[in-house]
Every structure is written in C-alpha cells, then in structure tokens.
C-alpha cells in the first residue's frame, strides 16, 4: 500500500476505493459504504487485512462529512461524484468498524504502530467522535 500521510484518503487503496464509489450508481453508493463496514466488523477476532480497514476508514470519512461537526472530504483522492444524503443508520456501523480497526489483530494498526501510530489513532478517534455525535 502506498501511503503518503495519515488522512483517510492518503493512500492508494483509499484512492482506488473512491473510484469504486464513483462508479456505483448514486442510489447504490450508500450500500458500497455499508459493505465496507460489514467486511471489517465481520472479521470478529480474526486477522483484519489492511486494505479492508482502509476502505472502511474512507467510508467512515464520507459518512462523517455529512454529520454535524464533520469535515468535508476535499482531497483530490476522494470521490469526484457527489454523494447523496446518506442514511443516518450508517453512523453506528462506521463507529463499529473504526473500533474494530483499532483492535488487534489488525494489519493496519500494526503498520501504523511502526511509525506515526499515535497521530493516526488520534485521527481515527476524532472521526469516530463525529460519527458517534460526541
């Protein structure tokens, strides 16, 4: 995975995921995000692959952008097409996915703990707080 910063779209996998979101019909984009959350939470206590985790984080950032206090996704690596109003019920799914990303065994967590892990985790927790409404 090529990564250049700690943001949700600052890596090749998230940029590719953005393209997949753009390619989905507008009425199916929420389902693309929902599936990214499901893939992460379905791992339970099993090993979580970094690519799956990255897609869930990107999805969470897109959902959080529509929450009060959420930051818009303005990066060139995010989706180019506007997202429809996303269902509010995606928020707790995003929170659960972010919680899972931060618990071992998680490849992405392991990778970040080798470098800027504290700053990256702080960013994930901030994103989670927006989604949780706290």
Q: Which sequence spans correspond to the domains of the chain?
A: 12-132
Contact between residue 51 and residue 13 where contact means Cβ atoms under 8 Å apart: yes
Read off the tokens for 90. 């995606």
Which residue(s) pair with 3 in the sheet?
Answer: 11
The one-digit pLDDT tens for each residue of the chain (134 residues) are 589 999 999 999 999 999 999 999 999 999 999 999 999 999 999 999 999 999 999 999 999 999 999 999 999 999 999 999 999 999 999 999 999 999 999 999 999 998 878 999 999 999 999 999 96
The 3-class secondary structure across 63-126, one letter per residue, is: HHCCCCCCCCCCCCCCCCCCCCCCCCCHHHHHHHHHHHHCCCCEHHHHHHHCCCHHHHHHHHHH
Read off the pTM: 0.96
């Amino acid at each position: 995975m090529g990564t250049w910063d700690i943001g949700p779209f600052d890596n090749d996998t998230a940029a590719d995921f953005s393209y997949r979101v753009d390619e989905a019909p507008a009425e199916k984009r929420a389902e693309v995000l929902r599936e990214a959350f499901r893939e992460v939470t379905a791992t339970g206590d099993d090993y979580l692959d970094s690519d799956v985790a990255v897609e869930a984080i990107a999805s969470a950032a897109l959902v959080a952008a529509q929450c009060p206090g959420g930051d818009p996704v303005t990066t060139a690596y995010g989706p180019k097409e506007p997202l429809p109003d996303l269902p509010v019920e995606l928020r707790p799914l995003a929170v659960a996915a972010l919680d899972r990303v931060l618990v071992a065994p998680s490849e992405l967590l392991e990778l970040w703990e080798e470098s800027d892990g504290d700053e990256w985790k702080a960013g994930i927790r901030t994103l989670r707080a927006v989604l949780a409404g706290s």
